[in-house]
Structure formats: C-alpha cells, structure tokens
Amino acid sequence: MDEDKNQNQISEVKHTVAIPGEWALKKVLGPTLDEIGQDLSVLYKKGRDKITSSAERKIKPGTEGQRANLRVAWNVFTSGSFSDSAISAEYFGGILASSKSEDGNDDAGIYYFDIVKSLSSTQLHLHYVLYRSLNNLMADDPTSINKNLGLQNDISSIHTYFFSKEMTEIGLNLDTDFVALHSKGLLSGFEVQRKTVKDPKNREENIDVDYVSFTPTSLGFQLYAMAHNELKKWRSLCREKYQDFPEIKYPSLFGNNLEKLVIRAIGINSISIEIDRPTATVFAFTIDPNNTPKWIQSIKEEKINSLPVLIGAIYENTKDGINWTRYKCVEFKENELFTLECQPGTYFVRYKYEQITENKMKLTYTEWDTSGNLVEPFDISVLQKLKQEIESMPLLA
C-alpha cells in the first residue's frame, strides 16, 4: 500500500515538473529526477527551464540514460534557477550536463559550480566573450596547436584585444568585471586603457585607440570548456572551435595584436619597405608564383594559369594543399603596379614599386576589403622576410 502511494507521489511530481516536457528532464537527469523531482517543482520556473534546455543541448550522444550527479544537480537547480539570465543558464547547464555518468558519482562540477555561483551574469558574459574570442583565434591559427594550455608559461604570451566601445555596447561592465575575473584566477592579466598607434591609412599619422585586452589562465580555459560540457577535452581549445551559445551577444572585432585589430576595423592596411635592389628585380620576384611561399610563410604553394603575367591572369594559392584561393590580376604596369582581386570576394592587394636609386627601391603593399572587415592583415615582418629573400640573391651587374 505504502509502495503504491510512493509511486503515485513520484508520478505526480513528474507531471508537476514537466520542463519543458517530462522527457527533457528525464534526458538531463536520468534516474536522479526521481530523487529531486519534488524540489524542482517549487523552483522559479523560468530559470529552471533555461538550465534544463541548456543542459539538454549539451548532453553527449549515448548518455541520455545516465544518471546526473545528485549533489551537482541539486546545487545547480537550487542556486541557478533564481536567475533568468541566458548566460548563467548556459554555464549552469554545462555543469549539469557534465555530471552525467553510469553510476552518478561524477561530482567534479561542484568546483566549477562554486565559481559560477560567485559571479554575476555580466561577469559570466565577459568570461564567455573573452574565451570564445580566444578559442576562435586559436582554432584558426595552425601555430596554436603547439600550445600547452595547462602550462602557464606557455600561455602567458597570449594576448587578445577588443575595442572598449564595442564591448560596452553589448552590455559588458569593463570597469569592475575584469577585476572580478582576475580575482577568481580566470585571467592572469588584463588592460583597460587608451593607446596611440599608427594610422593604417596613413603611416605618417597616429590615432588614439580605447581598448581592452586579457591574458588567459588554465582555469579560465577549463571553465569555458565546462560550460560546453567539454571539460575532458579542454586542452583541445587551441585546435577545436566550440559552438556559440544562442542569445548571447559577442563582439565582431577581436585579435591577438592591437594594430592588426585597428586595421581590421578600418578595412585597409598599407605598409612599405625599402629594398636594396633594382625595381625590376623586386617586381619580377613578387609576380612569380614560385617565390610566394618563400616570403609568405602561410602559403604552401601558388600557381598561375598562364605566362607572361597580364591583366586577367589567375593566381591560385593554398595554405594546406587542399583548399585553394583564387585571385585575378586587375592592374598590371611593369615595374610600377600589380593588383590582385580575390575571386569571388571583396579583398584586394596592390603592390606599388618606386625607384629610389639605381639599386634601391621602395615597395608599398596595400590590402583592403570593401566589406570593411580586413581579416589577418600583413604586418611589416612579412615585408622584412621579402626583403631578406631578395637581398640574399646576387646583385646582377
């Protein structure tokens, strides 16, 4: 009799807490639902539902029937449900999803729960924006694969930059929240200040830039991975781009170098270098596709559809030997001008050649994007490599 009564109570609780359907909670909690169903029924519904939906999205295939850790589940729902913040739900949902196991004993999420519980929604938003941006930068950079995210000495040189104005416009509190994240060990350093940099459109002029930047920590990476239910793979953040959280705002502009960030925002980059060789020598070297991998290290191979080079010629290059990018020659004046247009696309690059003396010339490299978003602009080190390659060749009499 008592057993029948208990079964009816459990059944009643399950129907009471259908969030947003009994199947969703059962998928998230597994058998743990039977133990805390009564508690869930009295929690703030809006916040509770958001956590459930977040956790459901992050559950790994094949773990639906596993048991969520009771300690983690109870803490996540009783603390997190009283906020209807989308970003809070994402972090709590990731912790809840990560606690599922066959025996329900995985309570590793408690440590990260304590951190999330102690942070405001705007502080969590800032943490997400910082590490999401860094995750995107590292996943797109082949050199990042060698980074050991568990070694602070290896990640202390990583800096990510943002424009203060854009960060403020998406609702972030820069004045206090960087301090909060730093105090929790989620950042090893940060800057919120103004700096004078060269104007990319006119290198003779300077502009003032208000920016913020940060240096990551291993714990910061771990918390970001935990929010995605990827804690076991947190070291892969340098190789794998995690999915964006829905409803969360993030900046469109960020980079690992302040000057490059300014260039990207303005959409044009112009750099110059003097080379101790005749203009004809430099011109011939730069239009030859066989030479491109020698001075642009990201290019593995480049080829052209026909010679001699004329307007309309098609260049193609690849960074990985698989994916090729096509460029069309749209301007060509021997020893004076050489311009390529990405096909299809909005990116252009122009080489301008100017003779200084018989054996000295000035090369101006200008790149721009008509969309206003110049990605991965060159810096002077690329032209310095070009200068080194050309000047290492014998000077013809």
With 0-12 / 13-18 / 19 or more C-beta atoms within 10 angstroms meaning exposed / middle / buried, residue 275 is buried
Q: Between these two residues, 40 and 277, which has the higher pLDDT value?
A: 277
The proportion of the chain whose per-residue pLDDT surpasses 70, expressed as a percent, equals 88
The proportion of the chain whose per-residue pLDDT surpasses 90, expressed as a percent, equals 66
Q: Between these two residues, 315 and 306, which has the higher pLDDT value?
A: 315
Residue 289 scores a pLDDT above 50:
yes
Q: Report the distance separating Cα 280 and Cα 276, nearest Å.
A: 12
Residue-level pLDDT at 142: 79
Q: Report the distance separating Cα 215 and Cα 191, nearest Å.
A: 9
Residue 5 scores a pLDDT above 70:
no
Residue 17 scores a pLDDT above 60:
no
Q: What is the mean pLDDT of residues 276-286?
A: 96
Q: What is the mean pLDDT of residues 263-291?
A: 93
Q: What is the mean pLDDT of residues 169-183?
A: 96
Q: Which residues have a Cβ under 8 Å from the Cβ of 335 and sit 6 or more positions away?
A: 279, 280, 283, 353
Q: Between these two residues, 192 and 371, which has the higher pLDDT value?
A: 192
- Residue span(s) of the chain under CATH 3.30.530.20 come to 267-391
Average pLDDT across the chain, whole number: 88
The kind and range of the H/E element at 361 are strand 360-369
Residue that is written with structure tokens 């094949």 in the block? 62
Q: Between these two residues, 222 and 17, which has the higher pLDDT value?
A: 222
pLDDT in tens, 221-239: 999 999 999 999 999 888 8
Q: Between these two residues, 109 and 5, which has the higher pLDDT value?
A: 109
Which band of pLDDT confidence, cut at 50, 70 and 90, is reported for residue 13?
Answer: very low
Residue 73 scores a pLDDT above 60:
yes
Residue-level pLDDT at 397: 59
Phi/psi for 276 (5° steps) reads -85, 65
Closest CA to 290 of 327, 315, 266, 260: 315
Residue-level pLDDT at 369: 87
Residue 37 scores a pLDDT above 80:
no
Alpha helices in the chain (DSSP H): 2-16, 22-29, 33-40, 45-58, 70-80, 86-98, 109-117, 121-139, 152-155, 164-169, 174-183, 218-227, 258-266, 279-287, 292-295, 380-391
Which band of pLDDT confidence, cut at 50, 70 and 90, is reported for residue 326?
Answer: very high
pLDDT in tens, 51-64: 999 999 999 998 87
Judged by DSSP in three states, 270 sits in strand
Residue-level pLDDT at 268: 87
Q: What is the mean pLDDT of residues 123-136?
A: 97
The CATH class that applies to domain 267-391 reads alpha beta
Total residue count of the chain as it appears in this document? 397
Residue-level pLDDT at 20: 46
Residue-level pLDDT at 263: 81
